[in-house]
Chain A
Amino acid sequence: EVQLLESGGGLVQPGGSLRLSCAASGFTLGNYAMTWVRQAPGKGLEWVSDISESGGSTYYADSVKGRFIISRDNSKNTLDLQMNSLRAEDTAVYYCAKSLGGGIYKYYFDSWGQGTLVTVSS
């Protein structure tokens, strides 16, 4: 069974940093692109960042480009999101999600973690 478990969320002041992690199990992480999606309280889903199977290609939403860094360690079955220069508008539940497959199937997310809440406030 595929399992994704996020950790690292919490309360941080504006301008601060936080590192989220996602522990993957039940599948071979290195065979799938992985994604971070966030959801502000009471709001809709927002795609944040994506990383290729090997980690060689990364993509970011304009809203986080230059501030967030996605990375992965396939040997440790982990996905990370380093978040810097945090703003109030970054407050959200952050989900890691597994892609359905490679190629065009990387745009579809068939397994999601339970999410970790990030609150940016003074």
Chain B
Amino acid sequence: QSALTQPPSVSGSPGQSVTISCTGTSSDVGSYNRVSWYQQPPGTTPKLMIYEVSNRPSGVPDRFSGSKSGNTASLTISGLQAEDEADYYCSSYTRSSTYVLFGGGTKLTVL
């Protein structure tokens, strides 16, 4: 089972908005709302930012939002801040034998 497809990199200036896409198939993203997003700043461990497509865990700023259309999920970060610079990974349940898939990761650069 291939990983979910994410763009390798995105960038934006402070205060702007950026959107990171995550494309899967009808076996995962397209058929289930079990999509999540993780933030991993350099040298740190992953942090859950979004679960069940669009829900934010306690403590995650509302600048972070998630959505899904068809086989593609998206993470939007509005009001970009320097501290948002990190790698972002999407994840989805899959009905294949692999059970859980991650995307390849997207490096967000705040210009």
Listed in ascending order, the chain A residues whose CB lies under 8 Å from chain B are 35, 37, 44-47, 50, 59, 61-62, 65, 95, 100, 104-105, 107-110, 112-115
CA distance A113 to B91 in the complex (A): 18
CA distance A71 to B46 in the complex (A): 23
| B24 close to chain A: CB less than 8 A | no
Contact between A108 and B48 (Cβ–Cβ < 8 Å)?
yes
CA distance A112 to B97 in the complex (A): 24
CA distance A105 to B33 in the complex (A): 11
Instruction: Specify which chain A residues have a CB less than 8 angstroms from the CB of B1 in the assembled complex.
Output: 62
Residue on B nearest A95 in the bound complex, by CB: B45
Known interface pairs A62-B1, A100-B51, A107-B34. Does A47 touch B46 (Cβ–Cβ under 8 Å)?
A: no
Q: Which 4 pairs of residues, A with B, have the shortest CB-CB distance?
A: A47-B100, A108-B51, A44-B105, A112-B45
List 29 A–B pairs whose Cβ atoms lie within 8 Å, in order of A's numbering. A35-B100, A44-B105, A45-B40, A45-B91, A45-B102, A47-B91, A47-B99, A47-B100, A47-B101, A50-B100, A61-B98, A62-B98, A65-B97, A95-B45, A95-B46, A100-B51, A104-B93, A105-B51, A105-B52, A107-B36, A107-B91, A109-B36, A109-B38, A110-B57, A112-B45, A112-B46, A112-B47, A114-B45, A115-B45
Chain B residue total in the interface (Cβ 8 A): 26
Instruction: Specify which chain B residues have a CB less than 8 angstroms from the CB of A114 in the assembled complex.
Output: 45
Residue on B nearest A49 in the bound complex, by CB: B99
Which residues of B80-108 have CB atoms within 8 Å of chain A's CB atoms?
87, 89, 91, 93, 97-105
Query: Interface 1/0s, chain B 26-53, versus A by CB < 8 A?
Result: 0000000010101010000111100110
| B18 close to chain A: CB less than 8 A | no
Shortest C-beta distance, A24 to chain B (Å), equals 15
